[in-house]
Amino acid sequence: MLRTPQRPTKLAVLTSGGDAAGMNAAVRATVRSALAAGLEVFGVYEGMQGLVDGGDRIKQLSSTDVGGILHQGGTVLGTARCAEFFSRDGRRQAARNLVERGIDALVVIGGDGSLTGANLFREEWPSLLDELVAEGDLEPDLAAAHRRLTLVGMVGSIDNDMFGTDMTIGADTALHRITEAIDAIHSTASSHQRSFVIEVMGRHCGYLALMSAVAAGANWVLIPESPPDTDDWEESMCRAMEAGRAIGRRRNLAIVAEGAQDRHGNPITAQHVKEVLEERLGEDTRVTSLGHVQRGGAPSAFDRYISTVLGYAAVEQILMSPGGEPQLIGIRGHEIISSPLMDCVNKTKAVADVIARQDYETAMDMRGGSFKDSFRMIRTMVRAQPHGPEPGQRRLRLAVLHAGGPAPGMNTAVRVAVRVGVDHGHTMLGVHNGFKGLAAGKLEEMDWMSVTGWVSQGGAELGTSRKVPAPELLERIAHQLDKHRIDGLLMIGGWTAYQTANLMHELRDIHPSFALPIVCLPASINNDLPGSELSVGADTALNSIVQDVDKIKQSAVAAQRSFVVEVMGRDCGYLALMSGLATGAERVYLPEEGISLLDLEKDVNELKDGFAHGKRLGLVIRSEQADPVFTTSFIRSLFEHEGIGLFDVRTAILGHVQQGGDPSPFDRIQATRLASKCVEHLIEQALSEEPASSFVGLQKGKVRFTPISEFPDLVVPGVHRPMDQGWMALRPLARVMAQPVPPETTPQV
Ligand code: ADP
């Protein structure tokens, strides 16, 4: 009779296959979550090779052992390709090394190869133990006590090519590296009017090529999943590049995925693209192959926090179903999902097979909606000549404006909105300085080239205004909308935009010109808007905070010091919690929870205890409006007073750097996707009998529109934040990740 598998008491974690930024964060989270659950944890060094070799390649880890690694790229556990693990003998040796130590739970962070190998290992486990017992290499009692191996996988891969998760660990960081490189190339290419061909990684998956093309505003992109339509694609590419030059484009940029191919499966190399551009157009063309730069460097904020969240969930999964079917832990929006591991691996492999069979339509379908949207988008954006109106088509006049604080990605969104609108044959008008400008009639027609270069620019070229217009201003706005015959309004901004759109909607009986359709696109670093898991700008702000906190932590290497870092967010603690998770803060103060005297007493005592036992660095993150009484300076004074003789305290109020900077790749991609959907939606509404107003957002990774009239019901009365904040579920993690440190250790954050 089969016994129900026992809850494992010892767990091993390893990283395998190609390295990916964020693997360290995943290891740290796995180790600390497992320790918090009372498990003993072992790190396996050098991937599967460490399993086979055993000895000191399998080491017990403490919380301290994974301190100070969150911000490091690569993997401190090491990774290797291991030929022995492909053989049953190798895997038997690996089983022996684990079971001898009483380990029967395994967390693997790697690509589809590693996860396949690990799954095979788990399937064979009982029979491997039987063989070891039969050969006298293992005590029967030990084998009987560990009949099942519990396996959980996380995907560490820069390619973002796996089913079962929206994003793989390392993909976002790779996009950061590629986008930084292309932004740098951009300026030199423009100066010399050169063409650049950039080769990016991705053998079977065009994710990095496609998304970096969206984020960098490339003029041509070649990916494995969707080869050029025609055999004479070189000619189409040359015509497009030529037309771009004719309208004044100063540089041409083509991005080629490593695995790019033509319709017949013949590889297309960056070198070939260069030769074509040189020979047919006489373009001065350079090739840059980004190579391993794409893997390297400090992980992005997103990679740090998803890895943290996934590591935590992996341990929960192990405890929940010991000996159960192996699961892959992934994310969808802010939600953690777990799916049968081998289903995910098999579906992933199936895409490569479909591409090899040259069934490109199925390959694109399998990649999913956002991938297809982006590809469609790129094909519009690379055009030098818009399609323009169809004969007899009604030409709408659509206006775009900003409202609220500046958010990186606003320019990116305007660029796409203008081009999509013009491409559909409509007149696009940019409003300068938000509602104030609209009331003063500061509208200007925008054409295809008026938004050149905006994809990567921070700030808001059109300008913005922060206040909801007073009645007198609203009257003038109504007049201007009439005067300029505006058929639809796209508001790219934050709380002010949403409130004003709702107000205009409510006043449409008084001001008939307010009956036009309005669409709001969430752009606010605070991420405080309803109807969307994320607003444009929040990711850039988060990265900016994380980079600053890294530097702040480095500044304290020698001293015993505690930092109180204040971040923006108004009434919403998103930036505080996420930056806390991404930087390893031990305490995060959020406006959603407030701060109590009891909290402060407990926190200060924990800090004192930590520093008394060798702690060198403390980090607390406070959201700017976490509490009206317990301000950042109050907390500093309190900590300083209580910490005399143990540690000193410094504050860092990060301020407006958080609103500045060029948009992150994710913000550019999201701004592009949402703006294009918004304009298409606005056109549809403007042409309909009963035009409706709405706000757009990402919900579980899908683009959704919510009627503007629902705005008041979806927000917390009296404050600026939505009722539904999925990310709040991540709060307990911050505590687990910063476990009180056992005495006699020298912890690092
Ligand atoms: P990735 O995990 O990035 O796809 P690889 O495919 O190189 O990387 O796999 C990493 C390691 O995982 C291999 O060197 C090998 O030890 C193990 N592995 C991969 N595939 C299998 C398999 N089919 N059977 C057993 N082990 C495998």
DSSP three-state, residue 27: helix
Q: How far is the CA of 83 from the centre of ligand 1 (A)?
A: 8
| 3: pLDDT strictly greater than 70 | no
Q: Are both 706 and 740 inside the same structural domain?
A: no
Task: For residue 207, tell me if it sits in a domain.
Answer: yes
Report if residue 388 sits inside a domain: no
Statement to judge: residues 231 and 205 lie in one domain: yes
Distance separating alpha carbons of residues 650 and 710, to the nearest angstrom = 43
3-state SS of 196-232?
EEEEECCCCCCHHHHHHHHHHCCCEEECCCCCCCCCC
Q: Which residue of 106, 108, 114 sits with most ligand 1 atoms within 8 Å of its CB, as the best mutation to test the pocket?
A: 114
Distance from the alpha carbon of residue 76 to the mean position of ligand 1, in angstroms: 19
Q: Which of 294, 323, 351 is the last residue of a domain?
A: 294
Structure tokens at 688: 């309909």
- State whether 101 and 161 are in the same domain: yes
186 and 83 in a common domain: no
Judgement on whether residues 146 and 272 belong to the same structural domain of the protein:
no
Q: Does residue 748 carry a pLDDT above 50? A: no
The predicted pLDDT at position 262 comes to 94
Q: Ligand 1 in contact with 18 (CB < 6 A)?
A: yes
Q: Which residue has the higher pLDDT, 249 or 656?
A: 656
- 547/661 Cα distance (integer angstroms): 12
C-alpha span between 653 and 633 (Å, rounded): 10
Q: Is residue 366 part of a domain?
A: no
Instruction: Please compute, for residue 21, the number of CA atoms within 13 A of its CA located in the half-sphere on the CB side.
Output: 26
Task: For Cα atoms 579, 582, 583, give the angle at the middle one, nearest 5 degrees.
Answer: 85
**117 CA distance to ligand 1 middle (Å):** 5
Q: Is 379 exposed, middle or buried (0-12, 13-18, 19+ CB in 10 A)?
A: exposed
CATH code where residue 227 lies: 3.40.50.460
Q: Which long-range contacts (CB under 8 A, 24 or more apart) does 237-245 make?
A: 237/273, 237/276, 237/277, 238/276, 238/277, 238/280, 238/281, 240/382, 240/383, 240/384, 241/195, 241/277, 241/281, 241/283, 242/281, 243/384, 243/385, 244/219, 244/384
- The string of pLDDT tens digits covering residues 121-180 is 999 999 999 999 999 999 999 999 999 999 999 999 999 989 999 999 999 999 999 999
With a cut of 50, say whether residue 452 has pLDDT above it: yes
Torsion, Cα 226 181 173 221, to 10 degrees, reads -10
- pLDDT of 2 reads 47
Q: Which of 280-289, 467-476, 510-519, 740-749 has the lowest mean pLDDT?
A: 740-749
Residues 218 and 280: their CA atoms lie apart, in Å, by: 20
Answer yes or no: do 275 and 328 share one domain: no
**526 and 558, same structural domain?**
no
Give me the catalytic one of 19, 159, 303, 548: 159
- Mean pLDDT over each residue of the chain, to the nearest integer: 93
pLDDT tier, 723 (very low <50, low <70, confident <90, very high otherwise): very high
Residue 198 lies in a domain: yes
Position 338 in a domain: no
Is the CB of 437 within 6 Å of ligand 1? no
pLDDT surpassing 80 at residue 749: no
Verify that 590 and 738 share a domain, yes or no: yes
Q: Which domain holds residue 677?
A: 397-536+664-714
pLDDT > 70: what percent of the chain?
A: 97
Query: d(Cα 746, Cα 741) in Å, to the nearest integer?
Result: 9
Report the C-alpha gap between 155 and 111 in whole angstroms. Answer: 6
Nearest CA, atom 24, ligand 1: 117
Instruction: Give the chain's domain count.
Output: 4
**Domain co-membership, 139 together with 202:** no
For residue 743, name the pLDDT band (cuts at 50, 70, 90): very low
Atom number of ligand 1 nearest to Cα 112:
4
Decide: 90 in ligand 1 pocket, CB within 6 A: no
Residue 348 inside a domain? The answer is no
**pLDDT exceeds cutoff 80 at 359:** yes
User: For 386, phi and psi rounded to 5 degrees?
Assistant: -70, 155
Ligand 1: does its nearest atom lie under 6 Å from the Cβ of 117?
Answer: yes
Residue 370 lies in a domain: no
H helices of 10-86, in order, are 23-36, 47-53
Kindly report the CATH number assigned to the domain that includes residue 150.
3.40.50.450
Show Cβ contacts of residue 97 under 8 Å, excluding neighbours closer than 6 positions. Answer: 51, 52, 53, 54, 58
- How far apart (Å, rounded) are the C-alpha atoms in residues 425 and 430? 16
Judged against a pLDDT cut of 80, whether residue 111 lies above it is answered with yes
Residue 99's pLDDT band (cuts 50, 70, 90): very high
Residues 299-345 pLDDT 10s: 999 999 999 999 999 999 999 999 899 999 999 877 899 999 999 99
How is residue 68 annotated by DSSP?
A: T
| The predicted structure's pLDDT at residue 101 | 97
Q: Does residue 719 form part of some domain?
A: no
How does pLDDT run across 208-218, given as a tens digit for each residue?
999 999 999 89
Annotation marks residue 137 as catalytic: no
- Model confidence at 103: pLDDT above 50: yes
**Cα angle at 640 between 637 and 641, to 5 degrees?**
85
Q: How remote is the CA of residue 151 from the centroid of ligand 1, in Å?
A: 15
Q: What angle do CA 66, 107, 99 make, to 5 degrees?
A: 100
Alpha carbon distance 438, 387 (integer Å): 29
Under the banding of pLDDT at 50, 70 and 90, the label for residue 735 is confident
Using a 6 Å cutoff on CB, does residue 121 contact ligand 1? no
- Check if 80 has its Cβ closer than 6 Å to any atom of ligand 1: no
Q: Is 48 in the pocket of ligand 1 (CB under 6 A)?
A: yes
Residues 526 and 576 in one domain: no
| Radius of gyration of the chain from its Cα atoms, rounded to whole angstroms | 27
Task: Specify the pLDDT at position 15.
Answer: 98
- How many residues are listed for the chain in this entry? 749
From 44, 46, 85, 119, the mutation candidate for ligand 1 (largest count of ligand atoms within 8 A of CB) is: 85
Nearest-angstrom CA–CA distance, 199 and 700: 31
The atom number, within ligand 1, closest to the CA of 115 reads: 2
Alpha helix positions (H), 571-722: 574-583, 597-612, 632-642, 665-686, 711-714
Spacing, Cα 275 to ligand 1 middle (Å): 37
What is the rounded distance in angstroms from the CA atom of residue 323 to the CA atom of residue 10? 13
- Strand 617-623's sheet: what is its strand order? 587-589, 617-623, 561-567, 648-653
Residue with CA at minimum distance from ligand 1 atom 20: 113
Residues 17 and 153 occupy one common structural domain: yes
pLDDT for the residue 744: 37
Reply yes or no on whether the pLDDT at 373 is more than 80.
yes
Give the distance (Å) from ligand 1 centre to CA of residue 329: 19
**How confident is the model at residue 747, as a pLDDT?**
38
Could you tell me if 155 and 179 lie in one domain? no
Instruction: Indicate the residue among 294, 316, 347 that finishes a domain.
Output: 294
